[in-house]
Amino acid sequence: MKHLELENPDCRGILKTGKPYSICIGAGICNSIMPDWKELTFEVLKETVNPSLTIAEFDTLYYNLGWSLDSILQGSLNYVQENGGNIDTFNELIQQKLYSKITDNAARYNLDSKLHRFISDPFQRNSSDIIEIYNFFNNEYGNSSLFQLSKFLIESREKGNPPTAIITFNADVLLHSLLTLIQLKDTFDKTGKTNSADFYYKAVHHIIESDGHKIPIFHVHGSIVPFSGKRDARQNLVFQETSYHEVSGSTHSWQQIIFQYYALRNRIIFIGLSMSDPNIRRWLAHVHSVLNRDILHLTGKEEKSASHIWITPKSISVTEQKFKKLGLYHLGVKVGEIENWTKLYSGLSNLIS
């Protein structure tokens, strides 16, 4: 199975025919905007267990223990609970550390409070705030994967070929916030007001929540915002080890049902994920087995379907490129390479052109 080069003319329009597509995103789309998994774990451990902990000491600890980051976060939660705190105390700390980078950056523009309010509830706003916050995102993060993906999602909807759904494993709500912000800004530019914006996407934070006939953004690992409210599902957060065990130990979790439904019915485009999560790999393996069994039953031929695409920067060696393919083939996933992350928008646009 050949890898794909997403900007290549050979890939032009491949999402316009065949199965519809969905997009699945991970923390990588917020690189430079939010702390990565390791940075977040270090900050939480430092805040809870050892305020004098250095990054060098943390790296040594992480290497020597050989534990996963969710296991280390579990240790931090255990410490909080042993010292009179609870899961709410811990989640509040997660919220603070998760949004710390973008908050500090917004504070340089005296926008931190306005940004917090907008992220927590983008439907309570005034026009001047919208312009300020949009300019902040555009100036600071205009080349980020998050901004490029948001731009693509809006344009794909306007061109009549959007994804059927977005599945996010991120606890932050920045993707939906930015999509909403861009549409508010576009509406303001056209009408001078923001109250007539027709939003294309709807964040779904709870099992019982409707998508309102919009394109859903499923927060399958929960969500958390600075000011708790409807956009906050911190009770469903999956950070520490016990929360992962709860998901992986259930055969009918909401996360699994949503993911496997779209993996069976759609092609999934993976963005900002390392593809190392054991739950995702297990769910994909099951879906791949079911699809191949159906193909054999209907055609009498053993064919290995591989309709999903993992977007990743160009490999640094032939060996790396080959191993990416070999490590995902049994999951029904093709490798789709872009030159670098600044080419995400152009690569995605080529797939629907």
Give the pLDDT score at 1: 56
Alpha-carbon span 290 to 318, nearest angstrom = 32
Give the pLDDT score at 117: 93
pLDDT of 74 higher than 90: yes
Over residues 38-42, the mean pLDDT reads 96
pLDDT of 250 higher than 80: no
- Whose structure tokens read 């690569």? 347
pTM: 0.94
Alpha-carbon span 285 to 290, nearest angstrom = 9
Alpha-carbon span 80 to 82, nearest angstrom = 6
Alpha-carbon span 163 to 211, nearest angstrom = 14
Residue ranges of alpha helices (H) inside 207-275 are: 241-248, 254-265
Least confident of 7-11, 74-78, 253-257, 336-340: 253-257
pLDDT of 188 higher than 60: yes
- Amino acid found at 71: S
Contact (CB, 8 A) for 136 and 106: yes
Q: Could you tell me the CA-to-CA distances from 97 to 84, 92, 281, 347 in Å, in that order?
A: 20, 9, 28, 32
Over residues 213-236, the mean pLDDT reads 89
Q: Which residues pair with 310 in a beta bridge?
A: 270, 335
Over residues 151-172, the mean pLDDT reads 96
- Whose structure tokens read 């779209």? 262
Give the pLDDT score at 223: 93
Give the pLDDT score at 146: 97
Give the pLDDT score at 219: 95
Least confident of 5-19, 185-199, 238-252: 238-252
Kindly give, in sequence order, each residue whose CB lies less than 8 Å from that of residue 159, ignoring residues fewer than 6 positions away: 352
Alpha-carbon span 353 to 156, nearest angstrom = 9
Q: Could you tell me the CA-to-CA distances from 229 to 22, 120, 258, 284 in Å, in that order?
A: 27, 7, 23, 33
Least confident of 55-69, 79-93, 124-138: 124-138
3 state SS of 245:
helix
Per-residue pLDDT tens digits for 76-86 = 999 999 999 99
Q: Could you tell me the CA-to-CA distances from 95 to 57, 121, 196, 229 in Å, in that order?
A: 24, 15, 31, 13
How many helices, marked H, and strands, marked E, lie in the chain?
A: 14, 8
